[in-house]
Amino acid sequence: MTRVIYLGFAAVLVLPNAHAAPRLYDGYALIDEAPVATDLAQTVYRTVQGPTVGQGLYELLTGTGYRLAEARAADPAIERLYVQPYPEAQREVGPVELGVALERLAGPAWQLVVDPVNRLVSFERRPLYQPMPATAPPGEGVEPEISR
């Protein structure tokens, strides 16, 4: 009999913790969401209409809380990216993370740059795609001094 009482008492102690009531606010249950590592991890679904990559980037960023950085604050060659025709194969975007969509659209020559404080995005050319300094053709240029 004592054993049954102990089991009953243990059940009374365990049950309230197993089925804790949800936190309420003004009659509504509060749901805790898992933290998101970055806003660029948000999933986007879009049909892009713009004729250029620049306009497509603008459309992709609409409603995300991010915007394109001004051209004067970006890579000097950013206009080369923005004026490219938008690829037809990428008109339907998603479901995909925003950062992935931006990187795919820009292509392998461009590195996504994010300013999380001002919520701006831009792109810089990857070092492999930077212009190389011009070299003089053989036979032209400065002759080395030969000491005799």
- pLDDT tens by residue, 4-38: 565 555 555 555 555 566 676 677 776 666 645 46
Is the pTM above the cut of 0.75?
no
Distances from the Cα of 23 to the Cα of 27, 28, 49, angstroms: 9, 8, 44
Please tell me the predicted confidence (pLDDT) of residue 37.
47
Please tell me the predicted confidence (pLDDT) of residue 132.
77
Measured CA to CA, the distance from residue 100 to residue 94 in angstroms comes to 10
Taking the alpha carbons at both ends of the chain, their separation in whole angstroms is 116
The mean per-residue pLDDT over the stretch 88-102 comes to: 95
* pLDDT tens profile 54-81: 999 999 999 999 999 998 989 999 999 9
How many whole angstroms from its chain centre is CA 69? 14
Please provide the average confidence, as pLDDT, over all residues in the chain.
Answer: 82
Using 50, 70 and 90 to split pLDDT, how confident is the model at 136? low
Task: Decide: helix, strand or coil at residue 97.
Answer: strand
**Domain layout of the chain by residue ranges:** 39-129
